[in-house]
Amino acid sequence: MGDPSEYQRRTIRSRDHHFRGSLGRFATGVAIVTFEGTTRHGITVNSFTSVSMEPPLVLASIARTARSHDELANRPFTVNILGAEQQSLAMHFAGRPQAHEPLWIEGQVAPRLANVLAFFECTPWAAYDGGDHTLYLGEVVDFSYRSGDALAFANSRFTTIPESQLGVEDLL
């Protein structure tokens, strides 16, 4: 098979656009995966998912093209869940460095960020092929949360989930 024609390329672009748009209708929180690689590093993700209660497992899906991708393999990491006022932190770790270097905390197994809404420190559990991404599962060894509104992401935009709409843990 030769190179795709201009028509085929346009069809693929339009399908990708529609696929992203459809995925964007699923509202998520926003998190930063931090770890100690060759340097202390972080990557903004909205692919965070809780996986298992026993053992306690969580996952993040990391693009193969991200610098973090290879560095994260077999490394402990922290998932930092962002509060509503932390949009600039999300941008900082999404390739738009902000003027101020974030405040770091030395965690038990991996570095984490100060003042986040919640955090999960993890040791590496497994990594699964996810097409052009890899699903990194971690076993949670330390975690906590504070009160406050959550930063959310929907339709390619940041938004806020008020704390009053959260806090139904007792019902689950």
Ligand X SMILES: Cc1cc2nc3c(=O)[nH]c(=O)nc-3n(C[C@H](O)[C@H](O)[C@H](O)COP(=O)(O)O)c2cc1C
Does residue 166 contact residue 150 with C-beta atoms inside 8 Å?
yes
Which of 67, 85, 88, 162 binds ligand X (CB under 6 A)? It is 67
Which of 34, 44, 78, 80 binds ligand X (CB under 6 A)? It is 44
87 binds ligand X (CB under 6 A): no
Asked whether the CA dihedral 14, 131, 122, 55 is positive or negative, the reply is positive
With CB under 6 A as the contact rule, which of the stretches 14-22, 80-88, 89-97, 98-106 interacts with ligand X? 89-97
66 binds ligand X (CB under 6 A): yes
Which residue lies nearer to ligand X by CB, 135 or 141?
Answer: 135
46 binds ligand X (CB under 6 A): yes
CA atoms of 44 and 135, how far apart (whole Å)? 15
Which residue lies nearer to ligand X by CB, 43 or 116?
Answer: 43
Which stretches does DSSP call E strand in 37-156? 40-45, 49-52, 57-63, 77-81, 104-105, 112-113, 118-130, 133-145, 150-154
45 binds ligand X (CB under 6 A): yes
154 binds ligand X (CB under 6 A): no
User: Of 35, 120, 107, whose CA–CA distance to 80 is shortest?
Assistant: 120
Using CB under 6 A as the criterion, which residues of the chain lie in contact with ligand X when the complex forms?
30, 43-47, 61-63, 66-68, 90, 94-95, 153
